[in-house]
Amino acid sequence: MHARDVSTPEPGHRSPYRPTHEAVPGISAGPTPSHLSPVPSTTLITDSYREGPRKVVVVRGEVDYETAPALSAALHEALRASTEGVDADLSGVAFWDCSGLNALLRLRREALAHGKTVTVRSPSRMVRRVLTLTDTSPLFLPPRPCRRATEGRSVTPPSRP
């Protein structure tokens, strides 16, 4: 799998919803030397591939307000490139907040306007928790196949005793 998009926060910005790491006793908590680049607190990697008339977007990493714009861009690009819609594989998501949910809801609204659908494949525990708490998981289920009558035959309901 090739990395499609890597998003890191701007230097000096930190999500207010993430706990800060306490300083280790005996180690200076001073500024980072300029020759060392700080490790980003959040990383998001997306990749996509075609599966029939749909696009599958595989997401790994953390989705919060810093990385949600990159997720949203990858999802919208996949939606434009698909004929039926987008399947989001969120099994590799380690952190998910309302920013990720809002990105999915906006994508769903756009997809429905174009006669397409958005489904969530194998959500991670974090994603499943947010979708369950907000009661939005049914919005991202695959559409049920319609039951069609066999051609040339009339279908009658079973009689009741």
Q: What is the pTM of this model?
A: 0.66
Q: Write the burial class of residue 30 (CB in 10 Å: 0-12 exposed, 13-18 middle, 19+ buried).
A: exposed
pLDDT per residue as tens digits for the range 73-84: 999 999 999 999
**What pLDDT score was predicted for residue 144?**
76
> pLDDT by residue (tens digit) across 14-25?
555 554 444 334
Q: What is the homologous superfamily of the domain 44-139 according to CATH?
A: STAS domain (3.30.750.24)
Domain ranges, ordered by start, for the chain: 44-139
Span 57-65, average pLDDT: 95
